[in-house]
Structures are given as C-alpha cells and as structure tokens.
C-alpha cells in the first residue's frame, strides 16, 4: 500500500489559491478601466483557451510538487523485525585437554570438542532474534565471529574450529575480558556470556579475578559450563584402571564467575547432560518471542517530482515554439 510520511504537508497545497483569492479585489481595483491597444502577442497570450491550459498546467505541477513533498512511500508486506534486546557471546575452550574422548554421540566415543559442536548446533539454531558471537580461547582468546543475527555463520565458524589452533593451555580470564570489551560500547543490550571449558586458568594476560571485575562493571552475565566425564576406564601396564579425566576442572572458579554476575554454573558429564543444560539456558534466557512486525519502505517521491519537471519542461517548450511562430 502507499503511505505518506509527511501527510501534514498537504496543508500547503491551497496556499497559492488562497493568496490569489485574497489578492483578487486589489488586483481588480488596480486594473485600468480601458485598454486602447494590445500587441498581437499579448492578445494571443490572453486567449481564454490558452489561459485555461496554463492554469491547468500550473495546478498540476504544483500538486505534483506537494505530493512529492509529502514523501509518498510504498509499504511492503509485514516481516518480523530482528530484535537488538539480547546479545549472547559463546566462548569455547580449544585447549589440548578438549581432545579427551570421554563423550559419546549415538553410542560412538568422541572428544569433548566434537560433542560440543554437535550439541550446540541445536542451541544456536533456536536463538532466533538474538545476536550471537563466538570467542575461541586457549593460550589466548580471540573473536572468531563478531555479533551477528546470522546464526548459520556462527555455527559454521564453530564447526571449522580445530584443537590446538591457538595453543595448549587455557586463558579463561582473557576470554571473559575480551567479551566484556566487546560489550563495553553497547550499554542498552542484555549481555550474556556462555563460557564452556574443561580445565582451569593456566594462561593469558588477565586473571579470572580481574576478568570478573570487568564483567561486573560492564554488566555481563556469565553462564559457565564445565565439560568432561568424572570417570573413564583406561588401559595401563598393570591392567585397566579408573581415572578422573576432569581432575583439573576448577569448578570453584567457574561457580564464582557465574554467581557473582547473576548467571549459573552447570556441570556436563555427558552429551545428554549438556543437551539438558542448553535447554535450561533457553528457559533462563528465553528468546524474545514474537518479534515486532515491520513493513519495508520504498521511497516514491521521485515519481511525482519527475512528472512535475517533465510537464513543466513540455509547457516551456510549447510556449517557446508558439512565440517563435508568432514572431515568424
């Protein structure tokens, strides 16, 4: 449908007609009572048919200009509007310990990173309306995918990650500090960090305590997830034995990071537990629901403006040709 952004501009249209009407008595009084002689050109100019045509052209051109000034626009079909209310950064641990194959997908043993990619795919897909970003960390932290509504790109970036890409150790503090920095210039958003790790802070330039203060200062809510089984059976020189592959997981630090920022700490010992955690996160941080509908707008003012110039140009050409014939 067609809409006008400045509908009030239609009030300008009668102004020249009102002015002419108010000036008419004065114009009539000032006219001479008799006209003794008129040149041929002037007589031709005063022909009633030509005068009516000139008035009609003037009215049409003025109307088109007013319509253009009213800013006509075409409103398309309503579409869901993406919401800027929530921004969610996902920080994934790529340290060497993430290659421990203590997880299972459909009965097949896989490493922790492979399981994380598998489970997070559904979680990312469900975050319709949220802006998502991806941070990877090991010896240091860096942004793999900046904040975007393009969930497919975020998932692709995660799928393409490989272990030991940036070292063997774990810079948890750097990952949190980098997230806080990315959120620093966006004060009006609901800032969420989901941090997934299987160890403790062993690298980086920022300690977890310092990063925690930054997160609290910038209002970042942290949900921490500790991944890794608590017991696996391994073959040794004296036979099989049971070991805890998550003995280096610093649950106390992860719990503190979450609780002091208003988030929560989760423990994922298996693929099923991680799936339940992401379902709980959907409940803690629900998507925005039905997005507001917006209608795309296409400006149309150039059409009446263009027609006005065309009509005016044709009228001037016609007047010029008539004058040439009369003087010829």
Q: Give residue-wise pLDDT tens across range 112-169.
A: 999 999 999 999 998 887 889 999 999 999 999 999 989 999 999 999 999 888 888 9
pLDDT value for 237: 60
Q: How far from the centroid of its chain's Cα atoms is residue 29's Cα?
A: 65
pLDDT value for 157: 94
Domain 83-284 grouped into CATH 3.40.50.410: yes
pLDDT value for 238: 60
Domain ranges of the chain: 2-76+295-327, 83-284
Spatial CA neighbour of 132 closest among 86, 92, 99, 101? 86
Strand ranges for the chain from DSSP E? 2-4, 72-75, 79-80, 86-93, 103-105, 108-110, 131-137, 141-148, 190-197, 221-227, 232-236, 239-243, 265-268, 293-294, 297-299
Question: Scanning the structure block, which residue is given the tokens 């009516």?
Answer: 52
pLDDT higher than threshold 50 for residue 260: yes
Burial class of residue 96 in the structure, from the number of CB atoms within 10 Å of its CB (0-12 exposed, 13-18 middle, 19+ buried): middle
Contact by Cβ (8 Å): 147, 87: yes
Whole-structure pTM value: 0.62
Q: Give residue-wise pLDDT tens across range 25-83.
A: 654 444 444 444 434 444 444 466 667 778 888 889 899 999 999 988 888 776 655 55
Contact by Cβ (8 Å): 80, 10: no
Report d(CA 138, CA 70) in Å as an integer.
58
Q: How far from the centroid of its chain's Cα atoms is residue 69's Cα?
A: 30
Report d(CA 176, CA 183) in Å as an integer.
11
């Amino acid at each position: 449908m067609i809409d006008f952004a400045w509908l009030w501009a239609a009030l300008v249209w009668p102004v020249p007609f009102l002015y002419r009407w108010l000036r008419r008595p004065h114009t009539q009084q000032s006219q001479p009572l008799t006209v003794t002689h008129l040149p041929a050109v002037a007589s031709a100019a005063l022909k009633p048919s030509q005068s009516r045509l000139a008035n009609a052209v003037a009215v049409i051109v003025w109307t088109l200009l007013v319509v253009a000034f009213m800013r006509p626009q075409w409103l398309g079909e309503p579409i869901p509007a993406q919401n800027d209310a929530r921004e969610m950064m996902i920080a994934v641990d790529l340290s060497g310990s993430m290659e421990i194959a203590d997880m299972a997908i459909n009965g097949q043993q896989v490493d922790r990173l492979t399981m994380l990619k598998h489970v997070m795919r559904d979680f990312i897909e469900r975050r319709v309306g949220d802006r998502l970003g991806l941070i990877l960390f090991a010896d240091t932290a860096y942004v793999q995918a900046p904040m975007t509504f393009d969930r497919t790109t975020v998932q692709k970036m995660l799928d393409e990650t490989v272990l030991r890409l940036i070292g063997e150790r774990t810079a948890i503090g750097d990952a949190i500090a980098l997230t806080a920095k990315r959120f620093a210039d966006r004060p009006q958003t609901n800032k969420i960090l989901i941090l997934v790790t299987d160890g403790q802070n062993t690298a980086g330039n920022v300690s977890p305590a310092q990063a925690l203060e930054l997160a609290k200062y910038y209002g970042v809510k942290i949900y921490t997830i500790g991944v890794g089984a608590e017991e696996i059976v391994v073959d040794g020189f004296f036979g099989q034995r049971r070991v805890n592959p998550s003995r280096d997981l610093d649950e106390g630090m992860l719990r503190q990071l979450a609780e002091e920022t208003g988030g929560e700490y989760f423990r994922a010992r298996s693929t099923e537990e991680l799936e339940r955690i992401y379902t709980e996160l959907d409940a803690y941080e629900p998507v925005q629901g039905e997005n507001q509908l917006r209608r795309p707008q296409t400006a149309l003012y150039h059409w009446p403006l263009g027609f006005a110039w065309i009509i005016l140009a044709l009228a001037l050409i016609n007047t010029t040709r008539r004058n040439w014939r009369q003087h010829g």
